[in-house]
Structure 1
Amino acid sequence: MVEISAAVVRENRGPFSIEKGLTLDEPRPDEVLVRMVGVGVCHSDIYESQVGPTPAVHGHEGAGIVVRVGSAVTRFAEGDRVLMSFASCGACRNCLEGRPAYCEKFMTLNLSGARADGSRPIKDATGQEVFSNFFGQSSFADHALAAERNLVKVPDSVPDELFTVLGPLGCGVQTGAGAVLNTFNPNAGSTILVAGAGGVGLSAVLGAVVASATKIAVLDVIPSRLELATELGATHTVNGKDADVVARLREIAPGGFDYALETTGNSQVLRTLVETTRVGGQVGLIGAGKPGAEVTFKHSSLLSGPIVRGIFEGDSVPQQFIPRLIDLHQAGRFPFDKLVKTYPFEQIQRAVDDSEAGTTVKAVLTF
């Protein structure tokens, strides 16, 4: 067993409190023990802390250094720098077809709070099992376990100061950028509308710039985030609180946008995107609505052939896509670090509060 410190949530909507004296299992044959260097704070972490089982250790955008590897691990060794991404089984039909984000065991491996066999790798100081293995890692801790399939090796060319903030590439950044570059895969000169200027939406804006879109419109209600969207390459911004948003969007793209991406989880926003997409255009759904939420469309808006589809984890194979994003950053074409604000791990609750308030786009905890 490995003694660790971790941010534990003891009750729904309770604080993330740093606790010492927890224990983490030693790596199984296919697992890797990682000492954390940085970890992103995602709204999925916050949401699960509010409604999920407790006590719990969340965190799923980890970056760290390999401490030990299991006997069956072949691709990583002690001292490797790695990013931690979502878990997948590697054996189901979707995994074998190169679509691990749609792994048939995704819920079990990422959101059950345990390994596939039901075991929980973290116990607290009293010996109580803790909801853990979140997204195959639970990286709100100074050490975390991950399966070999979760990990992405970080090139030696990446400087340490950048490595510290790379964690969000494991989920939020690859989700937004991947929705554009992998799912839409637009031709140069396309028009793209992004609803929501959080970490995922602004990562999509960066992806749209890489894809050489000529019109990149961003819809949000926070002026500072719309300003940041412009800095990152958006050509147009629209405040969702303005009157007749649909008319404004139609002024920007009179024939409708080629692609639109919904990251807010707001069903009315999704309807707006469908109504402002061109004939035969594509609408991607990333934002998760409230449980039981329903969406309604005008019947006529669907007759023009828009493709509406859900997108998970940016349709990415992390071991392929994340190195591509790192290369783009090093070439000066993907400045995702402009989204990041760092906090010492001990200030996790402040980072969560700032994220919920919208004053921080992407918080990264450093160790």
Structure 2
Amino acid sequence: MKAAVIFETKKPLEIADVVTSKPAAHEVLIRTVAVGVCRSDLHFVDGAYPHPLPAIPGHEAAGVVEAVGDEVRTVKVGDHVVTCLSAFCGHCEFCVTGRMFLCVDPGTKRAKGAEPRLKFANGDPVNQMLNLSAYAEMMLVHEHACVAIDRDMPLDRAALIGCAVTTGAGAVFNTTDVTPGETVCVVGCGGIGLAAVNAAKIAGAGKIIALDPVPEKRAIAEKLGATHTYDAMGENVVAEVIELTKGGVHHAIEAVGRAQSAQATVDVLRRGGTATILGMMPLDQKVGLSAMELLSGKRLQGGIMGSNRFPVDIPRLVDFYQRGLLDLDTIIGERMGLERINDAFDELRKGDATRSVITFG
């Protein structure tokens, strides 16, 4: 099969021939149909986050099940599925307490010494990234890294649910638990931020404020439900948000991955408000609350993958789309073939794009 491989960070990906092994007992072989191009992949491509190389990135995908291992019970051949990087074991402390998104049990990966899931034609192993490696014509994953969805759901839209929507919408529905009428500020209007804006509308939030330096992205945010938008680079943007909301917002969600945007997320909070950081900031960066902010009841939290329970959440998000509540069509900026993967990353580096989608076949 063809796959986009990172051989060296800060270098273009190369399209290479890669071989997948046969599904083991709890594994699923999926024919990839569509993959979203997420900034998280760019962090690995550019070397900001370490990963063993060579590797195939890509983690926001949808496809069709081609084969299953002997003990797979959750999906069957022919099922349309969405994958999720937060593969879970089902029996560790995190899983049994309802925090499957925190599971890191090695049981979802192949044991050391076993045949690798991915390798080159000469037998050299290829590292699987984020349990998926979706920039490839086929994916071989643990059965707890995918979920079957309604076959009427368009797979190019469904792919976005695997990360951007699960993360952004999950931050609203799960991590922050927005109450109808509360105010929400989303910092950053890429795929994740736009999904958070849309979800805030679904959740019945009152004022929904979106901050982004790109006018076109702010316009899309308004289409998806933002009641007010501001230039994130504006000199007085924090003061304007606080004045608009008469003291600050109940919930602020950071969807960029920069220290400055994280600080703005904290600064726009009202007393008792909660800041949720979704973006992958540089590993040496920190964000915090002052003593006075702590005394005013403000809270700061992470929101990895939208605190998801993806076997339940993803089908529900599909249903939201099918009922016209979740607008995935507007989030997609461009569709392209795998041979243009480096063009998609270049667009991400510019920061102007919403979501590009790689399609197969």
Aligned position for 2:348:
355
Q: In structure 2, give the amino acid aligned to 1:365.
A: I
Contact 2:272/2:296 (CA < 8 Å) preserved in 1?
Answer: yes
Helix, strand or coil at the partner of 1:218: strand
Give 2:217's aligned residue. Answer: 225
SS of 1:72 mapped into structure 2: coil
In the other structure, the counterpart of 2:164 is: 172
Match of 2:338 in 1: 345
Q: Aligned to 1:126, which of 122, 125, 130?
A: 122
Between the aligned partners of 2:156 and 2:113, the Cα distance in structure 1 is 32
Alpha carbons of structure 1 residues 311 and 296: separation in structure 2 relative to 1, 3 Å: closer
Match of 1:311 in 2: 303
Alignment CA distance shift 1:118-1:273 (3 Å): farther
Counterpart residue number, 2:11: 14
Structure 1, 210-219 or 273-282: larger mean CA deviation: 273-282
**Normalized against structure 1, the TM-score is what?**
0.92
Residue number in structure 2 paired with 1:103: 103
Within 5 Å, give how 1:45-60 maps onto structure 2: 45-51=41-47, 52-60=51-59
- The answer (yes or no) to whether the contact 2:288–2:300 under 8 Å persists in 1 is no
Change (3 A) 1:118 1:155: farther
**Paired residue type of 2:141:** A
Quote the residue 1:189 is aligned against: 181
| Residue 116 (structure 1) shift | 5.1
Give the Cα–Cα distance (whole angstroms) in 2 for the partners of residues 229 and 294 of structure 1.
28
Which secondary structure does the structure 2 equivalent of 1:165 belong to?
helix
Distance 1:230 1:23, change over 3 A: same
Local SS of the residue matching 2:151:
coil
CA–CA separation in structure 1 for the residues paired with 2:286 and 2:121:
43
SS in 2 for 1:337: coil
State the partner residue of 2:78: 79
Q: Which moved more, 1:356-365 or 1:135-144?
A: 356-365
- Cα deviation for residue 223 of structure 1 reads 1.5
Change (3 A) 1:164 1:273: closer
From 144, 152, 156, give the equivalent of 2:151.
Answer: 156
RMSD: 1.7
Structure 1: how far apart are the matches of 2:46 and 2:123?
23
Q: Is the 8 A contact 1:246 1:276 kept in 2?
A: yes
Give the 3 Å change call, closer, same or farther, for CA 109–13 of structure 1 in structure 2: farther
Superposed displacement of residue 301, structure 1? 2.1
Structure 2: stretches of 5+ with no match in the other structure: none
Q: TM-score, normalised by structure 2?
A: 0.93
2:190 counterpart residue number: 198
Task: Please tell me whether the aligned partners of residues 268 and 295 of structure 1 are also in contact (alpha carbons under 8 angstroms).
Answer: no
Correspondence for 1:238: 230
Q: Give CA deviations for 1:164-197 in whole Å, capped at 9, x if unaligned.
A: 3311211121100000011222221110001111
